[in-house]
Amino acid sequence: MDAQPVVESAEANAVEVSPLSKALVQIDGLATGLADLQRQYRGVIFEVRTPQGMKAAKAARLAIRQPRYRLEHTRKDAKRLIEAEAERITAALLEIEEPIHLQITTEETRRETERLAAIEAERVRVEAIQERITNDIRGAVARADGRNAAHIEATIRDLIAVVIDATFAEFKGQAEGARASTLFRLRQMHEAAQAREAETERLRIEREDIERVRVEQAAEAARLAKARAQLAPAPAEVAPVETQAETTRLAPEALKQEPRRGYRLAAPQRSELEVDAAPPARQTRTEIDESEDESRPTATAIVRVVAQSFGVTEATALAWLLDMFAINEKRAVA
């Protein structure tokens, strides 16, 4: 508190001994002379039309003008002196002020740096939590997209195992909500994947069944072809070949004839209907039909039942039955 008066006293002493004080004294003297000039010349009317009056007016003007010129010179000199003195005093004050200012600005810079660091740390903290919510929780949907049901189920278990604790801070509620919505979406994806895989498995089994049936039918066809080839008569005994349509048309009637009556039917592949012996002349077709049991099913019904029972076409069933008749006939002849 005592330093300020000491400085002011030193500045006062400096002003007293400086050229500025002389300029100020001159200005004070001019101010004193101003009062004399005002009393002497203010409001005076000179007889400028006469030589004496003109001379008196010029003398008065000179007496007033000379102090004004001196004042202007004094002002300019004083201005230069004031500016130089001001610069000197300013430099002296800065020499004292700057160390103190440096302490203040250093502390303010430190506080601002800490404030900015705290803002950055908060930004990094929030960003890290949001990244955990986005990647660890919501990102499970992207990781499970297009995967099988087992992988999606494992993703659901992993998401349930995620611990939403205090590390999520004020975003804990947001994390729990994100997990709930993500689990809902994952369970929908799991159900869709299960349905998709079940359909794929069904189609695979269906294709395998179709292929198995195709192989079995091919094997059966090969077996039938081989059996027919073995049962086919010698070339000299082959009867005129009839068409497949004719054989199919005559088959129901042929099946009504028992082998003991002497009728023999060839397989559809041979396309022939051969009669070994004519029926007795005394017994007509009508009499034969009337002698049969009325409850006996028709040949067409028998062929249809065999076809449905073994899952084959009626043509294949008819071929089987014709082969059976041919085999039985050959055994009877032998």
Task: Read off the pLDDT of residues 92-112 as tens digits, 9 standing for 90 and up.
Answer: 989 999 999 999 999 999 999
Report the distance separating Cα 121 and Cα 115, nearest Å. 10
Of 87-91, 222-226, 273-277, least confident by mean pLDDT is: 273-277
Same domain, 8 and 120: yes
* 132 assigned to some structural domain: no
Q: Which of 132-136, 160-164, 181-185, 232-236 has the lowest mean pLDDT?
A: 232-236
Nearest to 320 by CA among 277, 311, 187, 296: 311
Q: Given a cut of 50, is residue 75 above it in pLDDT?
A: yes
Question: Residues 44, 120: one domain?
Answer: yes
| 20 and 106 co-located in one domain | yes
Identify whether residues 198 and 149 lie together within a single domain.
yes
My answer on whether 255 and 207 are in the same domain is no
Residues 272 and 175 in one domain: no
Q: Does residue 154 surpass a pLDDT of 60? A: yes
Domain containing 311 equals 242-333
Residues in a beta bridge with 192:
none
State how far the Cα of 165 lies from the Cα of 134, in Å rounded to an integer: 16
Tell me which of 245 and 217 has the higher pLDDT: 217
What's the CA angle centered on 167, arms 166 and 173, to 5 degrees? 60
Q: Are residues 120 and 178 in the same domain?
A: no
Cβ neighbors of 253 (< 8 A, separation 6 or more) are 299
Q: How far apart are CA 140 and CA 189, in angstroms?
A: 11
Angle between helices 51-131 and 19-41 (to 10 degrees): 130
| pTM of the entire predicted model | 0.43
Count the domains in the chain. 3
Residue 296 vs residue 250, higher pLDDT: 296
Structural domain includes residue 50: yes
Model pLDDT, residue 32 = 76
| Statement: residue 12 has pLDDT above 50 | no
Confidence grade of residue 120 (pLDDT, cut at 50, 70, 90): very high
Question: CA 297 to CA 290: how far, in whole Å?
Answer: 14
Phi and psi at residue 16, to the nearest 5°: -65, -35
- Residue 261's nearest CA partner among 209, 185, 177, 332 is 332
Are residue 254 and residue 185 in the same domain, yes or no? no
Closest CA to 317 of 297, 295, 294, 301: 301
Decide: 182 and 190 in contact? Cβ < 8 Å: no
Selection from 142, 152, 15 nearest residue 82 by Cα: 15
pLDDT at position 332 is 65
